[in-house]
Every structure is written in C-alpha cells, then in structure tokens.
Amino acid sequence: MNASNYLRYLLFIAGMGGLLYGIDVGIIAGALPYLEATAATSWKLSAQQMSFIVAAVLLGSVLSSLFAGLLAEAVGRKWAMLLAGACFVASIPMIAMAEGYGPLLAGRLLQGVSGGLIGVVVPLYLAECLDADHRGRGTGLFQLLLTIGLVAAALIGLAQARGVEAVAASGGDLAAARDHAWRSIFWMCLLPGLVFTLGVLGLSESPRWLLQRGRTTAARAALARSRPAGRVEAEMADMTSALRPRHDAGQPAAAGSLLSRRYVLPFVLTCVILACNQATGINSILAYAVNILGQAGLPGSVGNVGDVAIKVLNALMTVVAVLLVDRKGRKFLLMLGTGGIVVSLAAAGLLFRGAEAQQRDLTAAVQARVSGDTLTLATDAAGLQALGAADAAGGPRQLVVAYAYGDFTNVQTRRSDDAAQAPLTLSRAETVQPDSVIGAFFRRLHLNPFPDPEAARQAPLRIESVRVGEVPPQSHGWAVALCILGFVAFFAVGPGVCVWLALSELMPTRIRSNGMSIALLINQFVSTVIAGIFLPTVGRHGYASMFFFWAGCTVVYFLAVAFVLPETKGKTLEEIERHFSRG
C-alpha cells in the first residue's frame, strides 16, 4: 500500500472512532423508552437502577479518561485504540442479550470506558501520525464522523420507533416489540465497532511513541507508510532533536522540568480552551433547544422543526470547517467562531432580557400557599389572576415556577392558553431523583458534589422563583432561533473542530498523552456543571442570564485565542513545542 492509500485508510479508521464516540453518546436516547418498558415489566427494576444504567456510560467515560493517557503511554496508541474498540464490541452483546440488571449495567459501563478511551487516544494518534498538511483535516474528520454518529443513533432509534408503532397499530404483541426494539438498536451498532476494531490492526504504531521508546527503526518504518520517501529522514531528525535533552548555553538544564515554560504554558492553554469550549453552552443549547425556542415564543411543533434544523446545520458547517481548517488555520477559525458566538449569544440574551423584563414576580404569593409537601396551581387565565397576575391585553401568558426540595431543584412552565395542560403540580416525587451511580460513587469517597436524595426527602418545599408574563410573539421566537442557528454555525466552523486540534497539537510530546487526559476530564467536568445549573438558573433568573454568562465565557475564549494561542497550521508538532520553549 503506497503512502497516499495508507493515509486514506488511516483517516477512515480514525473517523470510525469518531463515529463510535457519537454513537456512545447518542444511542441511549432512542433505546431508553423501550428499555424502560422491559425493565419495569419483565425485570422489575427500580427507578434508581434505571438511572444507574443511563448514567453508567458517563461514569465509565470519566474513569477511562483518567487512565487513558497512562494506558496510551504504557502500551502505545495503536493498542489503546484496539482496546477501546474491543470494549465497544464486547459491550454490544452484553447489553443486547442482557436479561437483568447486572449484565446491562456492566455493558453500559464498558461502553462508557470505550468512549473515554476513544476521546483521548484517537485525536492523540492522529496528531502524532499525520503530517502538518493533513493534521487539521484528519482531526476534523473525527469531529465530522462524531456528529454523524449522533445522527446515526437518532435514525436507528427512529426506525425502531416506527416498527413499534406499526405493531401497536396492528394489535400485535407490544411488549415483545418493545423488547425487540431496544435490543435491535444496540445490535445495529455492532458493525461500525467491528470495522474500527479490526481496522486498527492494519495501522502502524505512532512513530513518535516508538521513537520515545528508542525503537528508531520501527519509528522510521511507521513514518514511511504515510510520508513520501524524501520527507522521512527530515522529519525523523526533527523528532529526534525534540526528544534530545538540551543543556546548551541558550537553554538551561531545567528545561527538562515539567514545571518549565515549554510544558506549563501549553498545558494551561489547552485546559483553558477545553473548559471554555463547553462554557460556550453548546451542550445545553443542543439538549434544550426545543425548550428554549418554546420560551422564546415558538409553538411546540415549530420548536421541533427548529431543533432538527440546528442539528442539520451543525453537521453541514462541520463539513465546511474540515475543508477550511488546513487552509485558513486554527487560530483564524477559532477567532471567527468565538467572535460569532459572542455576538449570537449576546443577541439572544438581549432578546430574552426584553421579554423577561415585562414579567411579574409572584414568588411571595405562591410561597404563601405552601402548606405541605405538594402544591397545585391552576394556570388558566382565572388561576393566574387569582395569584395576583393582571390580565394580559396582548394575548396568552406564561408562568415559570422554580422550586426545590433541599438541593434538588425543578422548573415547570405553563401557558394560560394550553387547554390540554393539567394544573401545575409541585411534588417531591417529580423533583427528588434517585441516587445516581456517579453521586453514590463520590459519596463513598466522602465527597459530595451532587445533591443528597436522603436529605432532600426530609426537606420542605421551597419556592425559588415564580414569574408570569405575556408569551412572546412568534416573530420574537424566530429572532431567537436565528441567533441560535448563528451560534451553532459559528461553533461548528470554529471550536467544534479546532478543539480536538488544540487538545492534541499544543501538548508537548513528553506530556501529551497524560495532559490530554486531564484536559478532556476538565472539559467533561465543565459540561456536567453547566448541565446541572442550567434549569435552576433559567428558572430563578431567566434565560437571558444564562446566555450572557455563556457570552462572557466565550469572550475569555476569544482573548485566549487572539493573544496566547499560536497558529499551528503547517507546523510539525516539534515546531509547535519549540514555540513554547522560547523565552
């Protein structure tokens, strides 16, 4: 196989890793309704056990992210990828053939371990194996296939949902159809896992990892598979020079210390970029798009159309980013993307601020009605008037109630013109969730970053915020939708692709694998925190506050890119490392 064909093969297999990462994240959404039906009727699983099964992937991903760098450093990038693929492949039959809680939980944990390994090791492998001219596009393909994996998981779930609906319409065995549906959803994910796992066997090990181990001949052979013959020796010399200790007059011996500028600055910069990438609010906006658009004034069906448009735009703009990243450069795309995100978020925040400024605070009136653990509120025009809300001359009104039991917060929204909506009920059962596998894990370590269900079961009902105001017109909703579409487009063309490059390119060779693990863990932590505070924040302070917070974080992102991040387009990893070692 010549160098160009091998390069295509390498990109295809690495891209399949991105596909698996997307499937890992998205597959449970389509399977969950049918899995819950089987768990409730056949296995008699509790709600707490089901929450463990759903959260197990996150726990597995967090744990594997912690040791992914150590593993890649110990056994090599190729064998770490092979292990990731094997974990994914093994998890499918464990889940799809499960007949109870234990095998299902183990399979989901194994699937999470696979996702955490892939998220660290595949970008690491791409950075170390691709030359400077292909590194951006290659890593961009990982992100593109990741978004396609999310879409593929959704389409698989949709196909099975239609099958279940057909059985229900024909009067067939609905329980058997649901059981078959969730198992089939997982079985259909086995093929890409096999392609990735078997395909990794045909890849060479990372030449930089081999050279670190003193295996010069093997490193040269690995490099020769993807490089023209005339470039192999020059790149080998550059790689060898970067690994050689430097004790000359211009560089003191302390340069080898992990606390030296050449290591600390790129590590901190990468961690800031990974944290800010999630602090743009991307995951919350994608997850709550329908809710946000509904609050902005678009009716439910139109909001769902907007949600589909957002996901399609995300995939299309990722294609644009893949085409531009090696032409325009990472710094240019990140500045363009973060600058556009700031404008889009600030505009959406201003639109929400204008609508929310007209709302009336009814917190005291509702709190005065609390006399036990449960409260029911009529949300039609008469019910809102009884709470003290004046009649709205302009149209229907919307009530937003944020309440809590202990540290568990819930937010509910009702429109006065929605005849199908039952009265709004605030109850402990709908608010205090069973202990999650992650919360239980941290509490066993005597840490408590998650709400304690036992304490919340004894806490009284507390009204955090009650606001009522006119439902914004559809024109307002479409204006917010355009802002969100702009946000998604700018994110996809900039941070969406370039974050993987920042993760893999900026880290020096000596700390690359372990540094990437830490940075990705920070990324996941920020994502989890923002997801946890989203609903309580918008319930108490409105959507404008969240959009302005994200915009502020993105300003920090823009400044870090503009004034600290070097342009890495067309540079070898060794050239990037030398940039940070200069005084």
In the predicted structure, residue 135 carries a pLDDT above the cut 50: yes
**Assigned fold of 1-219:** Growth Hormone; Chain: A; (1.20.1250)
CA proximity to 484, closest of 353, 359, 301, 308: 308
CB 23 within 8 A of CB 192: yes
Sheet holding 360-361, edge to edge: 360-361, 461-470, 397-405, 408-415
More confident residue, 75 or 535: 75
CA 61 – CA 110 distance, rounded (Å): 9
Confidence of residue 247 (pLDDT cuts 50, 70, 90): very low
If one counts every other C-beta atom within 10 angstroms of the C-beta of residue 280, the result is 27
Whole-prediction pTM: 0.75
- Estimate to the nearest angstrom the gap between the alpha carbon of 234 and the chain centroid: 39
With left for phi above 0 and alpha for psi between -120 and 50, is residue 281 left, alpha or beta?
left
The mean of the pLDDT values for the chain is: 82
Helix intervals (H) in 201-329: 207-212, 216-224, 229-243, 261-279, 282-287, 289-296, 300-328
Pair of tokens at residue 409: 């917060």
Helix (H, G, I), strand (E, B) or coil at 99: coil
Structure confidence at residue 4 as a pLDDT band (50, 70, 90): confident
Q: What is the pLDDT of residues 309-345, one digit of tens each?
A: 777 788 889 889 888 888 888 899 999 999 999 999 9
Sketch the domain layout of the chain as residue ranges: 1-219, 360-472
Q: What is the tens place of the pLDDT at every residue in 222-239?
A: 988 888 887 888 888 888
